[in-house]
Each structure stands twice: as C-alpha cells, then as structure tokens.
C-alpha cells in the first residue's frame, strides 16, 4: 500500500494540483485519465521524487 498526502504542484504562479491525497492498495491497477497536455504525468513525477 502507498499513501500520498498533501501533494501540491505549481509552475510559477499556476497551480496544477493542490493538497492531493491518494491511497494505492496492493494488488489493484490504477490509471489517470485526462485531456492530452493536461500535465497528468507531473502528478506521478511528484509522487516518485
């Protein structure tokens, strides 16, 4: 299990994500859906840093 609490991602004055809380359970498969160019990958990069 992986818990992520209080992630905020900003680029300059623009806030992409603020106070995000996620819980990933063992054995489950997850995906993120959004429009092309909506910077979905930055959420995952913030988690693994």
HEC profile of 1-49 = CEEEEEEEEEECCEEEEEEEEEEECCCCCCCCCCCCCCCHHHHHHHHHC
The Cα–Cα gap between 22 and 7 comes to 9
Q: How many domains does the chain have?
A: 1
Query: pTM of the full predicted structure?
Result: 0.54
Domain residues for 17?
2-48
Instruction: Give the pLDDT of the chain (49 residues) as one tens digit per residue.
Output: 889 899 888 888 988 889 989 898 999 998 888 889 877 887 778 777 7
Instruction: Select from 40, 45, 4 the least CA-distant residue to 24.
Output: 4
The Cα–Cα gap between 19 and 6 comes to 4
């Amino acid at each position: 299990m992986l818990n992520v609490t209080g992630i905020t991602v900003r680029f300059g004055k623009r806030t992409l994500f603020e106070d995000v809380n996620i819980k990933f359970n063992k054995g489950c498969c997850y995906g993120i859906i959004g429009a092309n160019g909506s910077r979905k990958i930055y959420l995952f990069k913030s988690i693994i840093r």
